[in-house]
Every structure is written in C-alpha cells, then in structure tokens.
Chains A and B, each alone.
Chain A
Amino acid sequence: MKVLVAIKRVVDYNVRVQVKPDGSGVAIDGVKMSVNPFCEIAVEEAMRLKEAGKATEVVVVTIGVEKAQDQLRSALAMGADRAIHVTTDAQMQPLGVARVLQKLVDEEQPGLVLMGKQAIDDDCSQTGQMLAAILGWPQATFAGKLEIDGDKATVAREVDAGLETLNVDLPAVVTTDLRLNEPRYIKIPDIMKAKKKPLDKRPLDELGVDLGPQLTTTKVAPPAQRQPGKKVADVAELVSELKERGLV
C-alpha cells in the first residue's frame, strides 16, 4: 500500500508572531519556519506503517514556495521515500489544497492519505475533510490511534466526549491528532540520504487545477490589549460598576 502524506510549511510553533502594521496578515519575513507539528505526526505515522510492513511506499507532498522544500527534505530525512513539491507563491486555502491533492491522488493512487488535523497558522482544520468529500472516500479525522488490517483501517478519534472508534474502508483520508505518536529525532546519516531522494517539482499552474472560490482576508488584528482591573470596595459598588459598563 502506498501512503501519501500531505505536509504544510508553517511559522515555527516557538515563534511569537506579530501582526503586520497594515493589518494585511502576520509578518513572516525572516521568521523561522517548520513542518506543521500535526503534519510531522502524520509523517511519523506513515513511517511506522512502513516499518510494520503495512505500507510499501511513503510519498510526501507539499504545496508552497520554493523554500518549502526544506520541510520536504526534513520529511525525507524522517524516512519518506520521495517527495512532490507543488510550487507556487500563491496563498493557498483549504479547498484549493484539497483540489490539488485530489489531482495528485488520481496520479499516485495511494491506499491511504495521511495529513495533520489542522495547521497551526490558520487553524482551519478543513483540508482533510474536503479532500475526502471530493474524492468520495471515507474519512477518519483527529486520529489518536490508527490500525491497518488488510483493506480496512480502525481509527480511534479524539472527540469531546472521549475516544470514538471508527472502522473505515481503504482508501481513506485520515487526519492526525497530537497524541497519535511522538515524531522521531532525525539521524545524521538520514539527513545525507534525504539529499539524494527524489523530489519532484510540479509548478501549480501546470497541474491544471481550478482552485475554486477563494476567501478574501479583509483585516488581521491582534487581540485587544487587556485593560487594567479595578478594585471595588463592596458588592454594591461591583453591581453599579457592572451596570455602568452595560455588563448586567
């Protein structure tokens, strides 16, 4: 079984992002970029499936700027067999990504698509669901445990009430949650090996994919500054203060 893993280049989780003064977005110039942590978990899970003999090939894919190949190399160093880089400078949105992935799924015919449950930059958590829908495949999102048995997968999902276990037929789309696994540390020889693994560049505009309707960002603003508190003498003053501010 071939596993396709989709990953995203995002601002590193340790970076404190700043909103651009013109409100058009967050400043990412010169900021440290990394593989989205949930996507890294997806790569790790694919590697574990391969090591357990359940997967035969792991193909990792990303869509984005030239530098996003660093993230692909990192996934290759974790053990993925080859990479596809759909190159574009355009700001991608979930539906567009899902449509590009659909095209690649048609070409590659994987038995399983793994991806992070959401990206830590825009927190959309939509791409996996959209991809499953347009492929007409089963989906199992927020996976905390994944078992493959022949042409079926058993997925324990992390939901508000606890764990929900689903059985899905393959091929399917599975999105990965935080507790699924702990990604490995990359070994130095694997960094060297990754340089020699195939990385296929595919310009987005040559794929002939209609990205679909696009959302427009009108404004990005930081959360409002917290105002200093005020001490009140008694309950009566508290009530009148709350009333004055229209809070009760």
Chain B
Amino acid sequence: MPVYRAPVRDHVFVINELIQFEKYAEALGYEDGDADTIAAVFEEAGRLADEVFFPINQSGDEEGCKLDNHVVTVPTGFAEAYKTYCEGGWAGLTADPNYGGQGMPQVLGVMVEEMFTAANHSLFLYMHLTHSAAHAMHGWASQELKDTYLEKLVSGEWTGTMNLTEPHAGTDLGMIRTKAEPNGDGTYSIEGTKIFITAGEHEMAENIVHLVLAKLPGAPEGTKGISLFVVPKFLPTEAGEPGERNQVFCQSIEHKMGIKGSATCVLNYDGAKGWLIGSENNGLRAMFTMMNSARLAVGLEGSGKAEIAYQNGVAYATDRIQGRAATGPVNSNKPADPIIVHADVRRMLMTQRAFSEGARALAGEIALNLDITFKSQDAEAKQVADDFVQLMTPVAKAFFTDEGFNAANATVQIFGGHGYIGEHGVEQYVRDCRISQLYEGTNGIQSMDLAGRKLSINGGRAVKTYLATADALLALHGEDAEMADFVKPMLPALESLKQATQWIMDNRAANPQNTGAAAVDYCRLFGIVALGLQWVKMARVCIDTLAAGTDEADFYQNKLVVARYYMARSLAEHSGLLERIETGADPIMALAAEAF
C-alpha cells in the first residue's frame, strides 16, 4: 500500500522560518499573513491532501476516465473530492475577494499546490486549470465577462481549461487554424479542433469554461495573429446560470502513459459561440499570464512527486529485509536487515530528500516574489521580484520535473522488481511525472527560454541581479566558521554558473546553435546552484535556531545533515555541466542530417 503524509512541518519551516513571510505580510496588504494562520492553513491543506486526495490516487489510475457519447466519466470518488475541495474554499484560496476569493498570499497558494498534486496529480489537474483560467480572465477579460465568469470559477462551481494545441500545432502556436468569425453582435463563432485539453469534459462541475486561441478573419500570420476567446460549454443565461448547450463537444479522450484519472480531450468547435478576451490579435499575451502560473504549478508536480516517491522509498526501505549491512547485522533477531542499511539505498533516499526540501524552499522564494510582484507599492522592488520570477519559472518547471521524475524512478529502483508491479503503486509516479516534463512547454523549450530569451531580455538584467545576490549571500555567511561547510562548496558551483552564463552570452552570436546546444545543461546547472543557495539559507536558519534553543532539535539537526549531503553530492555535478556547455554546438551538429 502506497503512503503519503503532506510534509506540513516543512512547509511551515519554509514560509514561517526561512522566508519569514510575516515580515512582508503587512506591507503587501495581507492581513491574514501571520505565522499562526499560515500554519493553520497548511495543516488543513495537509489533511485534505492526506484524507481526500491521496486515497483515490491509485484507484483513479487503475480506473481511468471513460467517454460515452461526448460525456466523460471521471474515476470513482473524484467528484466528491472535488466538491469537498470547493466547499473548503480552496478553489479561490488566492483569488480576488471581490469575486468570492479568499485573497490569501501566493506563498500559501503555491505551497499547498505541492501537497495536492503530490497526493493526487490527476485530480488536482481539474483544479489547477480552473485556477489558471480564472487568473487569465482576471487579468485580461472585460468587466462584463469577469462578472459573468469569475465568481463561478473562483468558487469552483465551473471549471476552466486552456485550449492552445491543435493536431499540427504544439510548440509553434503560430500555425493554429481554429477560426473565429464575428457574428455581428459582439460574439464570435468558433470552428476548429483542439487537442490535449486537460479537463476538457467531465460532469463534476455544472459548466466548463474553455479559453481558446483562434484566428480572426484576415489576422496577421504567425503568433501576432492569435486572439483569445472564452467559450463556455453551456451558454450562461441572463441570470448567470448554465443555459443552452454550446457547440463544443468532446470527440475522444487520449489513452495515456500516466495521469489516467485526468480527462485529456479532443474538443471539436463547430460554430461554438465565444467572446473575445482582451483585444484582437493579442491572445498570446493573455495566454502567457495563464501559462506562467501554470508552469510554476507544473514544477511543483515534480517536487511533489519527489516527496511522495521519497516517502514510499523510506517506507519500503525500512520494512523490506534483505541481506545484511556491510558493517555487520543490525537486526540479529531477523533473518536479514532492512535495506535502508545499504549505502546505495541511502544514496537514493538522500538525493530525493535533498532535492525535495531544496525545491520546496525555492518554490517558497518564487511564491514570495509573486506576492511582491502582485502587491508591492514599491516599483523597484516589484521589478526585481518580477525579474526573479521570470528567470526562475523555466528553472522550476524543467529542473523540478526532471528531478521529480528521477526521484520517482529511484523509488522504483529501491523497490526492485516489486516497484515494477502495479499494485505497489510506485510505478504510477514515474508514469504520472513523465507528463510534467512535456506539457506547458517541454523541458527543452523551457531551457531554451532560460538560455535564450531570459538571458537576453533587458541586457540580461535578471541573471546579473541573481548572480550578484548570490555573491552577496555567500560573502555574508563566508565570515562565519559554522557556515563554512555550506559556503565553501557553493563558491566553485556559483563560479561555474557565472562562467556558463558568460559563455552563452559570448558565443550565441558566433553560432546560433550554441544556445540550443547548451540550454538543457545550463538549466540543470542553474537549478543545482539555485537549490544550493537555498540550502545555505536553510543551514543558517537551522544553526541559529539550534543556538537559540528549541524543543525540535532533531528537525533542525537532520536538516543540517541533509544540507551537507547536498553540498557533498548533489552540487558536484556543476563542473561536468560547465565542461559540457563550453564544448558548444559543434560536436552535436557535426554529423550530417543524412547520416542519421
């Protein structure tokens, strides 16, 4: 039987002790941002994740979704769990109180996503897309559209989707063919086929709000000619309730490797009625609002997966007895020792834990910067925060999901052959996590975004600030002998990141393929260094808390042990990655295309 308990204590550590959100809460206008409230919300989110989401994770995977005559049936228990989630107010946790939201900070919104998605990836997708749709409408839709849709999305009564992909147009959205013809009354008639639409059809909510990219007649070619429309499954009546069925139907659902409880739909728009969001031909900008928050959420699927994989790895490694410890039997009244005595098993568990706790800390810092971006009155602070979020979003998306996948895979390894068997439940994490590396822009695309666009925008201002801040952090703690174990290993790693950054900036003009050749390694290097910096900060908090005296000494001492593991082992990759980056595109591109 798989296990999961939301790591509530560690979330409280990140937000209340590491980031100390309370210090920012008032200036950002969050009256409920105090440490007690944050802890209480995490506590309740953890309970929901443990007791409502997780128990239907494995059964949902086994049962999957069914399509019959355009109607999708979700796995048993999903509808009830969705209802409990909405009744608790979780759908609108960070949403605008003017539309029924709770107006809570992103540090809560982002962090609880990790618990929910870890406990049940498929189920949480229905919620997460709704959140993203509401976010995009809040930013770009007219007042009239907001009044019609937002309250319903914020309460979760209606769910949302994002419709970008078409059979021939995935990453390259400039090629989409879905058409929007003006009806002459301010509405549009939408024609076309969209694929890979998560939560595109189901009956858990009374209405589904599709946000659809389409082209107006005579629109410019490519991405400059794309507009965004809201197309509801049921047209809202005057009273705002679901009315006439709109001409959008689910044609089929995909048979997938994982996230089987999530309905991935092909949607046919056959003259469906839609309304324009924002201005004409400006759809991609609005969609990017949605995609940025969605990308961070996908990153959390990776770190959440690492957490659940770790917990199951620990449970098995402490229970399964096989062989004896290299140092002699520890379990002499049993025929063998639990496999956690073996160094190779420990290596896998420690790697998972060092990553998942480090990623949680980085997610917390990104979330804090989102709060500053949204709510700060200080223009400069806002810009610095926004730069940080823009820079770290592709890192969180790609690095977290790659490492989440590696962590899930490691747990299968810890289980040995039993891990490969469905009933033990851990191969599901590998299959589920695989999608996180693909959707919302593949990890290759994320890395290109980081190494290309994010390094050049505003003359590389974001990365320069980031590196300078890192220098300052290490200088600040470099004086302290207690911090030497953490600062010393970070110095060469940070140097590698600087050198790699400079190499990409210096060599992109010489050969346009250099950025692409370096991108994936660069993104990984960035992730490894970014988590290292988080471990430096966490070590500081642990050392200080222990010095001040605490009744939780084990918690902080263990964190320091994990910090040392990260410095000794996880960080060590930096030099190899730099070496690879600096070889450039030539070795990759040398073989003629015909020779493949």
Contacts and interface: CB of A to CB of B under 8 A. Distances in A.
Interface string A179-203: 0000001111101100100000000
Contacts of A195: 32, 36-37
B111 to A, nearest CB: 14
B333 A228 contact: yes
A230 to B, nearest CB: 12
A73 interface: yes
Interface string A11-31: 000100000000000000110
B550 A30 contact: yes
A227 interface: yes
A64 to B, nearest CB: 16
A191 B37 contact: yes
B333 A227 contact: yes
Contacts of B102: 188-189, 192
B89 interface: yes
B551 A192 contact: no
A117 B26 CA distance: 43
B40 A30 contact: no
Contacts of B529: none
A30 B553 contact: yes
A29 B551 contact: yes
A70 B39 CA distance: 10
B255 interface: no
A167 B5 CA distance: 42
Interface residues of B, number: 27
A32 interface: yes
Nearest to A28: B551
B87 A187 contact: yes
Interface string B43-77: 01001100010000000000000000000000000
A189 B333 contact: no
A188 B88 CA distance: 6
A74 interface: yes
B555 A185 contact: no
Interface string B516-559: 00000000000000000000000000000000001111110000
Contact of B41 (A32, A185, A188, A228): A188
Contacts, number: 52
A77 interface: yes
A228 B333 CA distance: 6
A188 B48 contact: no
Contacts of A77: 40
B333 A186 contact: no
Contacts of A187: 87-89
Interface in A78-100: none
Interface string B1-17: 00001000100000000
Contact of B44 (A186, A225, A227): A186
Nearest to B40: A191
A30 B559 CA distance: 15
Contacts of A185: 44, 47-48, 52, 84, 87-88
Interface residues of A, number: 19
A135 B44 CA distance: 37
B36 to A, nearest CB: 8
A221 B373 CA distance: 55
Contacts of B88: 185-188
Nearest to A229: B333
Interface string A31-51: 010000000000000000000
B104 interface: yes
A77 B44 CA distance: 11
B90 interface: yes
Contacts of A225: 333
Interface in B63-118: 84, 87-90, 93, 102, 104
A227 B47 CA distance: 37
A14 B89 contact: no
A188 B333 contact: no
B338 to A, nearest CB: 16
Contacts of B554: 30
A191 B5 CA distance: 21
Which of A77, A187, A227 lies at the interface centre, i.e. has the most chain B CB atoms within 10 A of its CB? A187
Given A30-B555, A187-B87, A228-B333, A192 B44 contact: no
A191 B36 CA distance: 10
A144 B553 CA distance: 42
A191 B47 CA distance: 14
A43 to B, nearest CB: 15
Contacts of A186: 44, 88
Which of A29, A70, A191, A228 lies at the interface centre, i.e. has the most chain B CB atoms within 10 A of its CB? A191
Nearest to A30: B552
Nearest to B45: A188
Given A185-B48, A185-B52, A189-B102, A32 B9 contact: yes
Interface in B108-160: none
B510 to A, nearest CB: 54
B87 A188 contact: no
Interface in A95-119: none
B173 to A, nearest CB: 36
B10 to A, nearest CB: 12
B361 to A, nearest CB: 20
Contacts of B93: 188
Nearest to A29: B551
A225 B93 CA distance: 48
A13 to B, nearest CB: 12
A29 to B, nearest CB: 4
B211 to A, nearest CB: 26
Nearest to B31: A192
Nearest to B93: A188
Nearest to B552: A30
Nearest to A74: B40
25 contacts: A29-B551, A29-B552, A30-B553, A30-B554, A30-B555, A73-B36, A77-B40, A185-B48, A185-B52, A185-B84, A185-B88, A186-B44, A186-B88, A187-B87, A188-B44, A188-B88, A188-B89, A189-B89, A191-B40, A191-B41, A191-B44, A192-B37, A195-B32, A195-B37, A225-B333
For the complex of A and B, the 6 pairs showing the least CB-CB separation, nearest first, are: A30-B552, A29-B551, A188-B89, A228-B333, A30-B551, A187-B88
Interface of B: 5, 9, 32, 36-37, 40-41, 44, 47-48, 52, 84, 87-90, 93, 102, 104, 333-334, 550-555
Given A187-B87, A188-B88, A191-B41, 17 more contacts: A30-B550, A30-B553, A30-B555, A185-B44, A185-B47, A185-B48, A185-B84, A185-B87, A186-B88, A188-B93, A192-B32, A192-B37, A195-B32, A195-B37, A227-B333, A228-B333, A228-B334
